[in-house]
Structures are given as C-alpha cells and as structure tokens.
Amino acid sequence: MSAPVSSIREPLITGGKTYHQITEDICSPTEKTPSTAWVIAFIISVSLLAFYVFCVAWTIWVGIGSWDLNRTIGWGWDITNFVWWVGIGHAGTLISAILLLFRQKWRTGVNRAAEAMTIFAVMCAGQFPLIHMGRLWLGIFIFPYPNTRGPLWVNFNSPLLWDVFAISTYFTVSLLFWYTGLVPDFATVRDRAKGIRRKVYNFLSFGWTGSAKHWQRWESLSLILAGLATPLVLSVHTIVSFDFATSVIPGWHTTIFPPYFVAGAIFSGFAMVQTLMLMTRKVLKLEDYITLAHIESMNKVILATGTIVGVAYLTELFIAWYSGYIYEQYAFYNRVLGPYWWAYVGMMSCNVLSPQLFWSRKIRRSIWWTFVMSIFVNIGMWFERFVIIATTLARDYLPSSWSYYRPTWVEIGLFVGTLGLFFTLYLIFTRVAPVVAAAEIKSILKTAGDQYTGPNAEKHSHAEAQH
Amino acid sequence: MSKENTEVLYGLYDDEVDLLKAVKTAKDDHLDIMDVYSPFPVHGLDPLLGLSESRLHIAGFIYGAIGTLTAFLFMTWVFTRDWPIIFGGKPYFSAPAFIPITFELTVLFSAVGMVVTFYIICGLGPGVVNPTLDDRITDDKFCIAFDTSDADEGAVEKLKSFLSNSGASEVNTKMI
C-alpha cells in the first residue's frame, strides 16, 4: 500500500516501532503522574503568569502612564511583544499546512506541538493590543457590531482593523485545524482510560470511532483546511506589517515589509519550535519520533528564512541610500548608528550572522548548538521588532521631539508574564494531549520507520511494505 | 452506528495490508460490510468499500463564497450608504482597502463552516457517545464489521469463516 521510498531517505521514526508501541510512547505521558522537572517548570510558569496578572492590573489601575512611553515613542515594548508573539505563532500552521501540501512527512513528528505553540503564542500576542488600549473593557469597540452610537462602524480601511480580523481568523482557523487533528488521538487516549477519565476523553474526542468514511472526510477536511491556512498564514504577518508599512514614518514606509515580515515570522516561529521540541522530546522521551532528521530539517528552514531576513535588512539599507530621500536615509543611519545601535547590533548578529553557522551539517545536527541558536534567534527577532519600532519613533521629523525610551518594570513584567502564560498553557497541553500526532505517525510508519527504510532497514520487511 | 441494538460480527486484523486484502475478498464475494474501523486513514480502502469522494470541499467553497460576499457587500454598504466617511481623500467605495478583510472572512467562513459540517455529517460532537467495538481499534487493530441483526445462522457462519480465513486475528460478536 505504501509508495516506494528512496532508501537514502533518513528514517523519521526510529527504534523499530510497532503501532502499539507508538500508542504507548505517545499516550503514556498523559497517564503518568508528572515528573519533578514538569512540576518545577509549572510552578515557575504559573508564578510568572501571576506576575503578569499583577502587571495587567497595575497597568489598568494606574494607567498606561506606568509604562515609560512618551509623546514621541508611543509604541514601546507592548507592540514589540505583540509582533514578536504573532511571529512565533506562524511556525505551527506553516508546519501543519504548507508542509502538508508539500507532502513533507517529517511534519508529522512536530506538527501537533507546533500548532499548540501557535495557538498559545497568538493568545499571548492578542493580550498586547488589548492592554495597550488602557481601557480593556472597551476592547469590544474594535468589532463592527450594531451599536447605539449611530450605529457607528469601525474603519474598515485601517490596517489596525485588518489586524483584528487577520489575527482572530488566524486564531480560529488554527484552533479548528489543531483540534480536528487531535480528535482521533483523544479517542486513542479514551480507549486506554477507565472511569471518569474515559468520560472526559470521550467528551474531548467527540465520540470518534475511526470509521472509514469518517477518516476519508477527516483527510479531506485536513487537506482543505491546509489549503486555506496556507494563504492565511502568509496574510497574517503581511497585514501585521501593514500596521507599519502603510504609515508615513520613514523607516516604516517600505514595500519590502510584507515578505520580510513573513520570512521573519517563519524564522522566529521555527526557532521557538526548536526551543520547545528539544526540551519536550527529552523530557517526554520522544527521541524516536522527533529525530535528528527533524531537527536538521527545521534548522534548514531557519537557515533559509534567516538568510532571507538578512537580505531584507541589507536591501533596506541599500534602498534608503539609493532613494536619495534624506529622511529615509537618516532613519536608517540612525537605526544603525543612533542611540539604539546596540539593538541593531543584537538584531544583526542574532538573526543574520548566527544562523549562517547552520551551513555546517555538524552544527545542524547538534542538539546543543541548535538549542543555543534557537534562543539567539528568539532574542534577535525580538530585537528586530524593537529596532523597527523604537529607533524609528525616537528620531522623527522634529528634532525638538526626539527622545529616548526605557521600559519600566511594568512593561518588562508584562513581557516576562506572557512567557509565563505561554509556558503554563504549553505545560498543561503536554499533560492532557498526545504531544505527537499518533494517528499520523502510524500512517507514515511503513514509509518512514527505520525497520522499513534507511540503512538499518530489514530487507524482507521493506519488500513486504510494498505489497 | 445507525440504529440501536445492532448485532455486529467483527474481525480484528493486525495490519492494514491484511485488512485491504480481506476487504477486497469481501468485495469479490459480495459480502455486505457494515463498516471498517482503523486507527489511522488506510489509503486504498475507499474505492474497495465503494465510498464516493467526500463533497466537503464543495461545501467549503460555498461557505467561502458566502464569506466573500458578506464581507465585501457589508463594507460597501457601510461606506457608501449607511455612514459614508472620507478617509485620506479616498473615494467612499475604496475596493482595494476592502480586500484584506474580505480575504480573512472568506477563510473564516469556509473553515468554520466546513469543520461544523464535518462534525454534523459524521455524527460527532461534544457529548456524543458512540459505541465502540473494541478499545484496540484506536490503537493498533484494523476492524471489519458486519451487521448480523437480521442474518440467519448460515449467513453468520459464512461471514465468520470469511473473517478467520482472511487473516483476522480475532472474531467476535457484540451488540451495539
């Protein structure tokens, strides 16, 4: 039944697994009591989350004045964090949608966790525009609902409103896609469970039976959702970049922003997937499903997108010079050599120089290098957004309003706090849901398992798999 | 899963290759399979079972088209009829600026509509309890099920021998 596989393809599932072992390996972490490492991580995350709640309450009580934003720099850490989180939230759907359309089998090992990460990252991102409003309870005004003020509609021509639609659509579609993939796996967990746990998982699995017709529709649905999510994922960061690109601020007003933001989003998203997956595979002992081949593939994506981002940075500088437009030229001169030069250096070294190390196969396949690099990329991409926002605003048209900006403890607390929110959600996810898409892993076992393909494949079983 | 109190005769297979062979034999023998259950989608099964291609994509297209029209016509109505405002000296009907939201709503309507349709036509949803034949079907067993409620003993025997001859590792009966 399986398609012939090139024997030089590296196996994606190692350890000579059977279907039952796959179920065992993937479902058992949800059935055991949590490990000490998990408990410690959870306590830290929840503490950060509590601090986040405190900082939000502080912001709302005291007002946005508790951040050190000023008349010149109206967007500081908050929008930086927003764009950073949205960017991170791009890898999951990219892995599950675009790689599904491209029939990349290695996606099955990481798609579940990456999609979960996407959803949690978008949740974190969504916090910032809301808190930034200062009056959180008026957040509903951003939706066009019939109201008693006219009805007065929202401005459909504004990129900030496009953002509302893009991000809420992205969140909804990612959630549906992720959950539909989870349903068969929840059924697997249900059928291993007893008592109340069985009832809970039956509720979560929507009564899934595994009927042939259901599977057929499920596959069809996954494929179409992937087809829809592919342009969606590209549109979301494009629209986020419009927040800047449609303005008339030198340094923001550039047509290169959409592709550059999308590449940056994939870049930072994959870095975050690496950070999480390297820890997850170790703690949950999933090394047979998230192999070095997976890590290497993701590092290649990081290298490619990191290089695209680098080219975009250089293009910006070139175009600023070539345009002959002094305000644009000054914006970029200031970006590189102005008061925030250190952020530019951080961005360039973390995003452009450090991924180039991945040209070396040895480094691509080294877990420690990958982990360190993924942290670098996360930091670098945060700097990128900070550079775009703060350096540009700090030196605007009027020298009399030039200023400098430092975050207060509240802003730092909000950022660190969303990390707490993110990790709390992720840690809960690793406890309640199968972290690897078990059904999808089973469906590629005969073409990607190491007993069927790769150097250690048993000769007879390879022939058998080709019936 | 259609009616209550169905007597089901089913065989469990250890491998999808055996399952496919058995389903093919059943088709050649004109046996009336009630359903086939598997832990993951088995490719090549649909034509053997005579399942026609899913029409979900047609539904998805229709929902998407509704989304496109809803978004575009609504924004047009708001800005040209209900409350015309000039933004940045642009015409009231500034179609290019409507495109991002139109696109997003197309995707949103299509995805939500299709997912809801999927769960409804499959009879799945929060709180649904479907009887399962065997707990290992979502793990590593592949199952062929026959409805034997109205079958006489001879027919049941014939089905049983088919199941065991075609490589089923277990053959059982269950009321669901």
Taking only the tens place, the pLDDT of each residue in A181-220 is: 999 999 999 999 888 999 999 999 999 999 999 999 999 9
In chain A, the percentage of residues whose pLDDT exceeds 70 is 96
pLDDT score, position A458: 66
Please report which confidence band the pLDDT of residue A459 belongs to, taking 50, 70 and 90 as the band edges: low
Q: What is the DSSP letter of A211?
A: B
Q: Which residues of B touch A214 (CB under 8 A)?
A: 122, 124
Interface test with B, best of A13, A24, A31, A157 (most B CBs within 10 A): A157
Do A224 and B56 make contact, defined as CB atoms within 8 angstroms?
A: yes
pLDDT score, position A7: 63
In a domain, A220, yes or no: yes
In a domain, A453, yes or no: no
Q: Distance between CA atoms of A418 and A127, rounded to whole angstroms?
A: 8
| pLDDT of residue B2 exceeding 60 | no
| pLDDT of residue A379 exceeding 80 | yes
Q: Which residues of A touch B109 (CB under 8 A)?
A: none
Per-residue pLDDT tens over the stretch A27-72? 888 888 888 989 999 999 999 999 999 999 999 999 888 988 888 8
Give the start-to-end residue ranges of the domains of chain B.
7-51+131-175, 56-121
CB-closest option in B35, B41, B124 to A208:
B124
Q: Which residues of B touch A220 (CB under 8 A)?
A: 53-54, 56-57
Q: Reduce the DSSP state of residue A449 to 3 states and report it.
A: strand
Q: Reduce the DSSP state of residue A317 to 3 states and report it.
A: helix
Contacts of A116 (CB under 8 A, 6+ apart): A92, A178, A425, A426, A429, A433
Q: Distance between CA atoms of B59 and A434, rounded to whole angstroms?
A: 30
| DSSP bridge partners of B144 | B11, B36
Domain that holds residue A349: 19-145+171-448
Cβ proximity of A160 and A243 under 8 Å: yes
pLDDT score, position B75: 93
Please report which confidence band the pLDDT of residue A5 belongs to, taking 50, 70 and 90 as the band edges: low
Pairing mode, strands B7-13 and B170-175: antiparallel
Preceding peptide of A151 cis, ω within 30°: yes
| pLDDT of residue A456 exceeding 80 | no
What value does the mean pLDDT take over residues A425-432? 93
| pLDDT of residue A172 exceeding 90 | yes
In chain A, the percentage of residues whose pLDDT exceeds 90 is 54
Q: Which residues of B touch A161 (CB under 8 A)?
A: 101
Per-residue pLDDT tens over the stretch A383-425? 999 999 988 888 888 888 888 888 999 999 999 999 999 999 9
Per-residue pLDDT tens over the stretch A314-360? 999 999 999 999 988 999 999 999 899 999 999 999 999 999 999 99
Q: Is B43 on the interface with A (CB under 8 A)?
A: yes
Do B128 and A152 make contact, defined as CB atoms within 8 angstroms?
A: no
pLDDT score, position A1: 40
Domain count, chain A: 1
| pLDDT of residue A3 exceeding 70 | no
Q: Which residues of B touch A208 (CB under 8 A)?
A: 124, 130, 138
Cβ proximity of B170 and B12 under 8 Å: yes
Interface A:B, Cβ pairs < 8 A: 190
Both tokens of B68, joined, read 């496109």
Interface test with B, best of A105, A167, A213, A241 (most B CBs within 10 A): A213
Q: Distance between CA atoms of A377 and A91, rounded to whole angstroms?
A: 14
pLDDT score, position A467: 45
CB-count burial class (<10 Å; 0-12, 13-18, 19+) for B5: exposed
Q: Distance between CA atoms of B90 and B75, rounded to whole angstroms?
A: 15
In a domain, A186, yes or no: yes
Q: Distance between CA atoms of A193 and A432, rounded to whole angstroms?
A: 12
Q: Distance between CA atoms of A313 and A306, rounded to whole angstroms?
A: 11
| DSSP bridge partners of B9 | B146, B173
Architecture, CATH, for domain B7-51+131-175: 2-Layer Sandwich (3.30)
What value does the mean pLDDT take over residues A98-126? 89
pLDDT score, position B44: 86
pLDDT score, position A4: 53
H helix or E strand, kind and range, residue B142: strand B142-147
In a domain, A223, yes or no: yes
In a domain, A40, yes or no: yes
Q: Distance between CA atoms of A448 and A212, rounded to whole angstroms?
A: 23
Q: Is B48 on the interface with A (CB under 8 A)?
A: no
In a domain, A163, yes or no: no
Please report which confidence band the pLDDT of residue A6 belongs to, taking 50, 70 and 90 as the band edges: low
In chain B, the percentage of residues whose pLDDT exceeds 90 is 32
Do A169 and B97 make contact, defined as CB atoms within 8 angstroms?
A: no
| DSSP bridge partners of A449 | A13
Per-residue pLDDT tens over the stretch B101-145? 999 999 999 999 999 999 999 999 998 888 888 888 888 889 988
81-100 of B, contacting A, C-beta below 8 A? 82-83, 85, 87-88, 90, 94, 97-98, 100
Do B130 and A166 make contact, defined as CB atoms within 8 angstroms?
A: no
Q: Which residues of A touch B1 (CB under 8 A)?
A: 209, 211
Alpha-carbon distance values, B163 to B20, B43, B47 (Å): 13, 21, 20
